Protein backbone atom coordinates (compact mmCIF):
# COMPACT_ATOMS: atom_id res chain seq x y z
CA UNK A 1 0.00 0.00 0.00
CA UNK A 2 2.81 2.34 0.89
CA UNK A 3 4.50 1.36 -2.34
CA UNK A 4 1.36 2.24 -4.29
CA UNK A 5 1.05 5.58 -2.50
CA UNK A 6 4.70 6.34 -3.17
CA UNK A 7 4.23 5.46 -6.83
CA UNK A 8 1.22 7.78 -7.06
CA UNK A 9 3.06 10.68 -5.53
CA UNK A 10 6.29 10.00 -7.34
CA UNK A 11 6.93 11.89 -10.57
CA UNK A 12 7.73 8.50 -12.16
CA UNK A 13 4.49 6.81 -10.97
CA UNK A 14 1.09 6.29 -12.66
CA UNK A 15 -0.13 9.76 -11.69
CA UNK A 16 2.33 11.46 -13.98
CA UNK A 17 1.30 9.32 -16.96
CA UNK A 18 -2.38 9.50 -16.19
CA UNK A 19 -2.10 13.27 -16.21
CA UNK A 20 -0.81 12.92 -19.78
CA UNK A 21 -3.73 10.76 -20.89
CA UNK A 22 -6.36 13.49 -21.17
CA UNK A 23 -4.19 15.88 -23.21
CA UNK A 24 -3.28 12.85 -25.32
CA UNK A 25 -6.87 12.02 -26.17
CA UNK A 26 -7.74 15.59 -27.13
CA UNK A 27 -4.62 15.83 -29.33
CA UNK A 28 -2.67 18.22 -27.13
CA UNK A 29 0.55 16.29 -26.51
CA UNK A 30 3.86 16.77 -28.26
CA UNK A 31 5.49 13.78 -30.02
CA UNK A 32 8.04 13.55 -27.21
CA UNK A 33 5.32 13.39 -24.55
CA UNK A 34 3.37 10.83 -26.57
CA UNK A 35 6.51 8.70 -26.90
CA UNK A 36 7.11 8.91 -23.17
CA UNK A 37 3.51 7.81 -22.54
CA UNK A 38 3.82 5.03 -25.13
CA UNK A 39 6.89 3.63 -23.35
CA UNK A 40 5.00 3.51 -20.07
CA UNK A 41 1.87 2.01 -21.65
CA UNK A 42 3.89 -0.91 -22.99
CA UNK A 43 4.43 -2.15 -19.46
CA UNK A 44 1.41 -0.76 -17.59
CA UNK A 45 -2.04 -2.27 -18.10
CA UNK A 46 -3.54 0.09 -15.53
CA UNK A 47 -2.59 3.18 -17.51
CA UNK A 48 -3.72 1.55 -20.76
CA UNK A 49 -7.13 1.06 -19.19
CA UNK A 50 -7.10 4.64 -17.93
CA UNK A 51 -6.25 5.92 -21.40
CA UNK A 52 -9.05 3.85 -22.95
CA UNK A 53 -11.53 5.32 -20.49
CA UNK A 54 -10.27 8.82 -21.18
CA UNK A 55 -10.63 8.26 -24.94
CA UNK A 56 -14.13 6.86 -24.44
CA UNK A 57 -15.20 9.77 -22.24
CA UNK A 58 -13.72 12.31 -24.62
CA UNK A 59 -15.46 10.78 -27.60
CA UNK A 60 -18.77 10.79 -25.78
CA UNK A 61 -18.36 14.29 -24.37
CA UNK A 62 -17.42 16.15 -27.53
CA UNK A 63 -20.43 15.28 -29.76
CA UNK A 64 -22.81 15.46 -26.82
CA UNK A 65 -21.45 18.96 -26.07
CA UNK A 66 -22.09 19.94 -29.67
CA UNK A 67 -25.54 18.44 -29.62
CA UNK A 68 -26.31 20.29 -26.40
CA UNK A 69 -25.21 23.71 -27.59
CA UNK A 70 -25.15 23.39 -31.40
CA UNK A 71 -22.55 26.09 -32.10
CA UNK A 72 -22.72 27.88 -35.43
CA UNK A 73 -20.96 26.18 -38.30
CA UNK A 74 -19.15 28.98 -40.08
CA UNK A 75 -16.53 27.21 -42.17
CA UNK A 76 -17.52 26.45 -45.73
CA UNK A 77 -16.15 23.28 -47.30
CA UNK A 78 -14.07 23.67 -50.46
CA UNK A 79 -15.73 23.94 -53.86
CA UNK A 80 -16.54 20.65 -55.54
CA UNK A 81 -16.48 18.55 -52.36
CA UNK A 82 -19.75 16.88 -53.36
CA UNK A 83 -18.58 15.97 -56.85
CA UNK A 84 -15.32 14.59 -55.46
CA UNK A 85 -17.26 12.54 -52.92
CA UNK A 86 -19.42 11.01 -55.65
CA UNK A 87 -16.34 10.36 -57.78
CA UNK A 88 -14.62 8.62 -54.91
CA UNK A 89 -17.71 6.58 -54.19
CA UNK A 90 -17.91 5.38 -57.77
CA UNK A 91 -14.16 4.84 -58.15
CA UNK A 92 -13.76 2.88 -54.93
CA UNK A 93 -16.84 0.88 -55.75
CA UNK A 94 -15.27 -0.26 -59.00
CA UNK A 95 -11.94 -1.07 -57.35
CA UNK A 96 -13.64 -3.06 -54.63
CA UNK A 97 -15.64 -4.99 -57.19
CA UNK A 98 -12.52 -5.78 -59.19
CA UNK A 99 -10.72 -6.96 -56.06
CA UNK A 100 -13.44 -9.09 -54.54
CA UNK A 101 -15.90 -9.66 -57.33
CA UNK A 102 -18.65 -9.29 -54.76
CA UNK A 103 -20.78 -6.72 -53.04
CA UNK A 104 -19.63 -4.83 -49.99
CA UNK A 105 -19.89 -6.44 -46.63
CA UNK A 106 -21.02 -3.77 -44.20
CA UNK A 107 -19.49 -4.56 -40.87
CA UNK A 108 -19.65 -1.52 -38.67
CA UNK A 109 -22.65 -1.00 -36.48
CA UNK A 110 -24.18 2.36 -35.84
CA UNK A 111 -25.18 2.60 -32.21
CA UNK A 112 -25.59 -1.13 -31.96
CA UNK A 113 -24.39 -3.82 -29.58
CA UNK A 114 -23.14 -6.00 -32.42
CA UNK A 115 -20.21 -3.64 -32.64
CA UNK A 116 -18.58 -5.85 -30.03
CA UNK A 117 -17.63 -8.15 -32.88
CA UNK A 118 -15.29 -5.47 -34.20
CA UNK A 119 -11.71 -5.88 -32.95
CA UNK A 120 -10.19 -3.11 -30.78
CA UNK A 121 -8.56 -1.39 -33.71
CA UNK A 122 -11.22 -2.42 -36.13
CA UNK A 123 -12.09 1.15 -36.98
CA UNK A 124 -9.32 1.08 -39.54
CA UNK A 125 -11.78 -0.95 -41.55
CA UNK A 126 -13.83 2.21 -41.94
CA UNK A 127 -11.30 3.42 -44.42
CA UNK A 128 -11.47 0.42 -46.71
CA UNK A 129 -12.98 1.22 -50.10
CA UNK A 130 -16.72 1.09 -50.33
CA UNK A 131 -18.31 -0.41 -53.38
CA UNK A 132 -21.68 1.19 -53.07
CA UNK A 133 -21.84 2.34 -56.65
CA UNK A 134 -20.70 -0.99 -58.05
CA UNK A 135 -23.07 -2.82 -55.77
CA UNK A 136 -25.94 -0.65 -56.88
CA UNK A 137 -25.07 -1.06 -60.55
CA UNK A 138 -24.88 -4.82 -60.13
CA UNK A 139 -28.10 -4.82 -58.12
CA UNK A 140 -29.96 -2.77 -60.69
CA UNK A 141 -28.67 -4.83 -63.61
CA UNK A 142 -29.51 -8.05 -61.79
CA UNK A 143 -32.93 -6.64 -61.00
CA UNK A 144 -33.64 -5.94 -64.63
CA UNK A 145 -32.09 -9.22 -65.65
CA UNK A 146 -34.63 -10.96 -63.45
CA UNK A 147 -37.36 -10.03 -65.89
CA UNK A 148 -35.57 -11.36 -68.91
CA UNK A 149 -34.16 -14.43 -67.28
CA UNK A 150 -30.70 -13.45 -68.43
CA UNK A 151 -29.27 -12.88 -64.93
CA UNK A 152 -26.38 -15.27 -65.42
CA UNK A 153 -25.09 -13.31 -68.39
CA UNK A 154 -24.96 -10.04 -66.47
CA UNK A 155 -22.30 -10.59 -63.84
CA UNK A 156 -20.73 -7.17 -63.71
CA UNK A 157 -20.87 -3.75 -65.20
CA UNK A 158 -17.35 -2.45 -64.83
CA UNK A 159 -17.68 1.19 -65.80
CA UNK A 160 -20.40 3.76 -66.00
CA UNK A 161 -19.54 4.48 -69.63
CA UNK A 162 -20.39 0.91 -70.57
CA UNK A 163 -23.84 0.95 -68.99
CA UNK A 164 -25.55 2.18 -72.14
CA UNK A 165 -23.91 -0.50 -74.31
CA UNK A 166 -24.85 -3.22 -71.84
CA UNK A 167 -28.39 -1.97 -71.73
CA UNK A 168 -28.62 -1.84 -75.52
CA UNK A 169 -27.58 -5.50 -75.71
CA UNK A 170 -30.11 -6.43 -73.11
CA UNK A 171 -32.83 -4.51 -74.87
CA UNK A 172 -32.13 -6.47 -78.04
CA UNK A 173 -32.14 -9.74 -76.10
CA UNK A 174 -35.40 -8.78 -74.44
CA UNK A 175 -36.98 -7.84 -77.74
CA UNK A 176 -36.01 -11.16 -79.28
CA UNK A 177 -36.56 -13.53 -76.38
CA UNK A 178 -39.39 -12.18 -74.21
CA UNK A 179 -43.11 -12.05 -74.63
CA UNK A 180 -44.59 -8.62 -75.23
CA UNK A 181 -45.88 -7.97 -71.68
CA UNK A 182 -42.46 -8.54 -70.07
CA UNK A 183 -40.82 -6.54 -72.84
CA UNK A 184 -42.51 -3.40 -71.57
CA UNK A 185 -41.23 -4.00 -68.06
CA UNK A 186 -37.72 -4.58 -69.35
CA UNK A 187 -37.85 -1.44 -71.44
CA UNK A 188 -39.06 0.52 -68.41
CA UNK A 189 -36.19 -0.77 -66.29
CA UNK A 190 -33.75 0.00 -69.11
CA UNK A 191 -35.16 3.50 -69.34
CA UNK A 192 -34.75 3.96 -65.58
CA UNK A 193 -31.16 2.81 -65.73
CA UNK A 194 -30.42 5.02 -68.69
CA UNK A 195 -31.76 7.93 -66.65
CA UNK A 196 -29.40 6.98 -63.84
CA UNK A 197 -26.50 6.62 -66.26
CA UNK A 198 -27.31 10.01 -67.75
CA UNK A 199 -27.36 11.57 -64.29
CA UNK A 200 -24.03 10.00 -63.46
CA UNK A 201 -22.56 11.21 -66.73
CA UNK A 202 -23.84 14.69 -65.92
CA UNK A 203 -22.19 14.51 -62.50
CA UNK A 204 -18.93 13.33 -64.03
CA UNK A 205 -19.15 16.09 -66.61
CA UNK A 206 -19.71 18.66 -63.88
CA UNK A 207 -16.76 17.30 -61.93
CA UNK A 208 -14.58 17.43 -65.05
CA UNK A 209 -15.74 20.96 -65.75
CA UNK A 210 -14.82 21.96 -62.22
CA UNK A 211 -11.45 20.30 -62.65
CA UNK A 212 -10.97 22.08 -65.97
CA UNK A 213 -11.95 25.40 -64.44
CA UNK A 214 -9.50 24.83 -61.58
CA UNK A 215 -6.81 23.88 -64.06
CA UNK A 216 -7.51 26.97 -66.18
CA UNK A 217 -7.37 29.16 -63.11
CA UNK A 218 -4.06 27.58 -62.13
CA UNK A 219 -2.69 28.09 -65.65
CA UNK A 220 -3.77 31.73 -65.67
CA UNK A 221 -2.22 32.19 -62.26
CA UNK A 222 1.03 30.58 -63.44
CA UNK A 223 1.10 32.77 -66.55
CA UNK A 224 0.53 35.82 -64.42
CA UNK A 225 3.27 34.73 -62.04
CA UNK A 226 5.60 34.12 -64.95
CA UNK A 227 4.86 37.56 -66.45
CA UNK A 228 5.37 39.17 -63.06
CA UNK A 229 8.62 37.31 -62.57
CA UNK A 230 9.83 38.39 -66.05
CA UNK A 231 8.88 41.97 -65.39
CA UNK A 232 10.60 41.88 -62.03
CA UNK A 233 13.65 40.34 -63.63
CA UNK A 234 13.78 43.11 -66.29
CA UNK A 235 13.38 45.77 -63.67
CA UNK A 236 16.13 44.21 -61.60
CA UNK A 237 18.42 44.04 -64.64
CA UNK A 238 17.78 47.71 -65.41
CA UNK A 239 18.46 48.64 -61.81
CA UNK A 240 21.68 46.63 -61.80
CA UNK A 241 22.81 48.34 -65.00
CA UNK A 242 22.11 51.74 -63.51
CA UNK A 243 24.02 50.87 -60.38
CA UNK A 244 26.93 49.55 -62.46
CA UNK A 245 27.05 52.72 -64.57
CA UNK A 246 26.97 54.92 -61.49
CA UNK A 247 29.67 52.80 -59.94
CA UNK A 248 31.88 53.09 -63.03
CA UNK A 249 31.40 56.85 -63.08
CA UNK A 250 32.34 57.06 -59.44
CA UNK A 251 35.40 54.88 -60.06
CA UNK A 252 36.59 57.15 -62.85
CA UNK A 253 36.09 60.23 -60.70
CA UNK A 254 38.08 58.59 -57.91
CA UNK A 255 40.87 57.59 -60.27
CA UNK A 256 41.01 61.19 -61.53
CA UNK A 257 41.19 62.50 -58.00
CA UNK A 258 43.96 60.02 -57.17
CA UNK A 259 45.90 61.14 -60.27
CA UNK A 260 45.45 64.78 -59.26
CA UNK A 261 46.61 63.99 -55.73
CA UNK A 262 49.61 62.13 -57.18
CA UNK A 263 50.50 65.17 -59.30
CA UNK A 264 50.23 67.49 -56.30
CA UNK A 265 52.36 65.12 -54.24
CA UNK A 266 55.03 64.96 -56.97
CA UNK A 267 55.07 68.75 -57.22
CA UNK A 268 55.43 69.07 -53.45
CA UNK A 269 58.24 66.50 -53.47
CA UNK A 270 60.01 68.47 -56.12
CA UNK A 271 59.67 71.72 -54.15
CA UNK A 272 60.84 70.00 -50.97
CA UNK A 273 63.89 68.71 -52.80
CA UNK A 274 64.58 72.23 -54.09
CA UNK A 275 64.28 73.73 -50.59
CA UNK A 276 66.57 71.04 -49.20
CA UNK A 277 69.10 71.82 -51.91
CA UNK A 278 68.88 75.57 -51.22
CA UNK A 279 69.22 74.89 -47.48
CA UNK A 280 72.27 72.76 -48.07
CA UNK A 281 73.75 75.51 -50.27
CA UNK A 282 72.99 78.12 -47.61
CA UNK A 283 74.78 76.04 -44.98
CA UNK A 284 77.77 75.63 -47.27
CA UNK A 285 77.84 79.41 -47.83
CA UNK A 286 77.69 80.02 -44.09
CA UNK A 287 80.55 77.63 -43.42
CA UNK A 288 82.56 79.39 -46.16
CA UNK A 289 81.98 82.84 -44.55
CA UNK A 290 82.98 81.51 -41.12
Partner 1 sequence: MITANPSELFDGSIARAADEDLIELLRGGSDEALTVLFDRYHRLVFHVALRVLRNHGYAEEVVHNAILSIFRAVANFDRRKGLVRVWLLQYAYHRALHRKRHLTANQFYRWEELEAAMEVGAARAYLGDSRENVRLVDQLLQRLKPRQRSVMELTYYEGLTAEEVSQRLNESVHVVRHDLQRSLSILRDVMLGATAKKDQC
Contacts (CB under 8 A) with partner 1, residues 130-159: 130, 132-133, 136-137, 139-140
- The site for partner 1, by CB under 8 A, has a size of 89
Among positions 106, 177, 212, 244, the unique one binding partner 1 when judged by CB under 8 A:
106
Binding segment (CB under 8 A) for partner 1, from list 105-113, 179-187, 218-226, 268-276: 105-113
Q: How far is CA 49 from the centre of its chain?
A: 34
Which of these ranges, 123-131, 170-178, 220-228, 264-272, lies near partner 1 under the rule CB under 8 A?
A: 123-131
Give the rounded distance of the alpha carbon of 188 from its chain centre. 45
Q: Which of 115, 257, 270, 285 binds partner 1 (CB under 8 A)?
A: 115
Q: Supply φ then ψ for residue 82, to 5 degrees.
A: -70, -45
CB of 249 to partner 1, least distance (A): 55
- Other C-beta atoms closer than 10 Å to the C-beta of 187 total 16
In whole angstroms, the minimum distance from the beta carbon of 14 to partner 1 comes to 14
Integer-rounded Cα radius of gyration of the chain: 44
Cα→Cα distances 40→51, 55, 187, Å: 12, 17, 67
Given a contact cutoff of 8 angstroms between Cβ atoms, the answer to whether 67 and 191 are in contact is no
User: Is the distance from CB of 144 to CB of 166 less than 8 angstroms?
Assistant: no
Q: Is the Cβ of residue 123 or residue 275 nearer to partner 1 in the bound state?
A: 123
Name which of residues 15 to 74 contact partner 1 (CB under 8 A): 19, 22-28, 31, 34-35, 37-38, 41-42, 48-49, 51-69, 71, 73-74
User: 158-217: which residues touch partner 1 (CB under 8 A)?
Assistant: 160, 195-197, 199-200, 202-203, 206
273 part of the interface to partner 1, by CB under 8 A: no
Residue 17's contacts (CB-CB under 8 Å, 6 or more residues apart) are 36, 37, 40, 41, 44, 47
Amino acid sequence: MLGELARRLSPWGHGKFQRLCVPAVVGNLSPEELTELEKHLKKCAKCRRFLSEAAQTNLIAMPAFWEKRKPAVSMMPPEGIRARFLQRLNREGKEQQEETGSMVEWKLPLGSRSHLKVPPNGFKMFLRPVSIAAALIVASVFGAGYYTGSKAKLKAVPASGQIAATLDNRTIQATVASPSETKEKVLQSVLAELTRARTLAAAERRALEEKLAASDAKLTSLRQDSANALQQSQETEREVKEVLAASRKENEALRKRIADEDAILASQNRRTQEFQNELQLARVHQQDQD
